[in-house]
Amino acid sequence: MTSKEIFLNHLAPTSHHPVLLEVESANGIIITDTDGNNYYDLIAGIGVVSVGHNNPFINRAVVEQIQKHSHVMVYGEYIQTAVNSLAKNLASTLPESLATSYFVNSGTEANEGAIKLAKRITGRHKLVAFEKGYHGNTQGSMSISANETKKRSFRPLLPGVSFLRFNNLKDLEQITDEVAAVIIEPIQGDAGVVIASATFMQALRNRCTATGAQLIFDEVQTGFGRTGKMFAFEHYAVIPDILTLAKGLGGGLPIGAFISSHKNMQLLAENPVLGHITTFGGNPVCCSAANAVLKIITEKDFLENVEVKGMLFEQLLQHKEVKSIRRKGLMLAIELENEEKVDKAISLALEHKVIIYWFLSTHSSLRISPPLTISQDEIKDSCNILLDVFGNL
C-alpha cells in the first residue's frame, strides 16, 4: 500500500479534498516533503508553531523533560516542576485576577472548561456569543460557535445560547443578569481576522461587570504573541474574567489552558468535588515546551518585531487582486474578489511551494499566520511568490 492509500483507507477524513502534502521534515518556516521539495509554511499548522518548526530550544526542553518523566498522574494531583513553572510563568505575565491556570489538551477543551467555570461562578446557564465566532468542535464549544451549517446535523446542542453582532454596541443590551458568560474572540480568527473596536470591547467589559456575566476571552488563536502582544486583550486595556489559550502555547505540542482568579478556580474542586477532570491535562512534556515558547517570545524586542513583520507583509502584498488586508501582528486575512480566486490562489501558491490557507467561515479571504520567527528575507521571498500567484488569478 502507498502512503496515500494508507492515509485514505485507515485515517478518518475531515473532508474529501485534503491537501495530501507528504511531510518528511520541517525546520524553521520550511516544510520539506518526501520528494525533497521545500515549502514556505505561512500557516504554521494554523497558528500553532509560532517559534518555528524543529526549534532547538523547544526540542531540548522536551527531551530533558521526557528523560526526567512524562505522564505520572492525572491533572491536579501530583506536584510536577514543569507544570508548576508554567502556571507560575503565566501568572507573572498576566494580571492578578488571572493568576490560576487549569491545563487541558486543546482549544475546545479550554472553552468547555471556561463555560463550566462560568456556570459555577454565576449559578446561571445562559450563554452569549458572537456572530461568525468559532470556539471549537466539541458539543459545548460548537454550541457557542456561530456557523449554523456546521452545527445543524449535531443538534440538539446546549440550550440558552444567543448570538450578538460583533462590534455592535446596541446588541450588548441583550446581556442581562441571567447570563452566565459572554464568550468572544477579541480578534475573530476564522471569521477572517475581524478586529473588535476598543469602544466595543470596553462597553462589553462594562456590560458584563454590570450584569455579573463572566467575560471569557477566547485567545486560542490570538494569544501567545500572534498579534504582537502577549495577549490580544492588551490591545484593548480590558481584562477578561476567564482567558482561554491553546494553539501557540505549546509551540507544536498539544496543550490548552483556561485561566481565572485563584478564588474562582476553587469552585471546580467542590460541589461536586472533581468538578472538572482530565487525564492528560498538564502533561509535563507539553508544559516544558510551553515554558520554552514563553521564554522565546518574552525575549527583548520579540513581540515588537511581530508587528514590524506583519507590517512588511501588508506593505509587500499590495496588488490589484487584493481588495483589502485585515491584520494584527502576524495574523492576516487577504481579501480577494471571491471564493474561486481564493481557491485558485491557495492551489497555485502550493504549486509554487508556498503554503497559505482558507478560513473556516469566510470564503473570500485567504489566511496567513506564519511562525512568528519568520525572517524579513523569508517574508520578502514568499511575498514575491505570492505576488506572482496573484498575477495569475
Ligand X SMILES: Cc1ncc(COP(=O)(O)O)c(C=O)c1O
Q: Which residues bind ligand X (CB under 6 A)?
A: 46, 106-108, 111, 134-136, 185, 189-190, 218, 220-221, 246
CB of 132 to ligand X, least distance (A): 11
Which of 193/220 has CB closer to ligand X? 220
Which of 145/211 has CB closer to ligand X? 145
CB of 231 to ligand X, least distance (A): 13
Which of 228/254 has CB closer to ligand X? 254
Which of 219/378 has CB closer to ligand X? 219
Which of 46/385 has CB closer to ligand X? 46
CA distances from 82 to 71, 87, 184, 342 (A): 12, 9, 30, 42
Which of 106/291 has CB closer to ligand X? 106
Strand positions, DSSP E, 219-330: 242-245, 256-260, 324-328
State the SS3 of 132-151. CCCCCCCHHHHHCCCCHHHH
Helices (H) then strands (E): counts for the chain: 13, 16
CA distances from 38 to 22, 27, 346 (A): 11, 10, 16
Q: Which residue is nearest to ligand X (CB)?
A: 107
146/249 Cα distance (integer angstroms): 25
380/377 Cα distance (integer angstroms): 5
Q: Is the dihedral of CA 336, 339, 341, 347 positive or negative?
A: positive
CB of 359 to ligand X, least distance (A): 10
CB of 124 to ligand X, least distance (A): 22
CB of 246 to ligand X, least distance (A): 5
CB of 278 to ligand X, least distance (A): 13
HSE-CB for 206 with a 13 A CA cutoff: 10
CA distances from 9 to 6, 18, 33 (A): 5, 13, 21
CB of 292 to ligand X, least distance (A): 19
Which of 136/281 has CB closer to ligand X? 136
Which of 246/292 has CB closer to ligand X? 246
Q: What angle do CA 321, 314, 187 make, to 5 degrees?
A: 105
Comparing CA positions, the residue from 41, 63, 61 lying closest to residue 52 is 41
CB of 220 to ligand X, least distance (A): 4
CB of 146 to ligand X, least distance (A): 12
120/260 Cα distance (integer angstroms): 13
Please identify which residue in the block is written with the cell numbers 487584493.
322
The one-letter amino acid code at 106 reads S
Which of 316/360 has CB closer to ligand X? 360
How many other C-beta atoms can be found within 10 angstroms of the C-beta atom of residue 375? 12
CA distances from 140 to 59, 136, 143, 154 (A): 34, 8, 5, 11
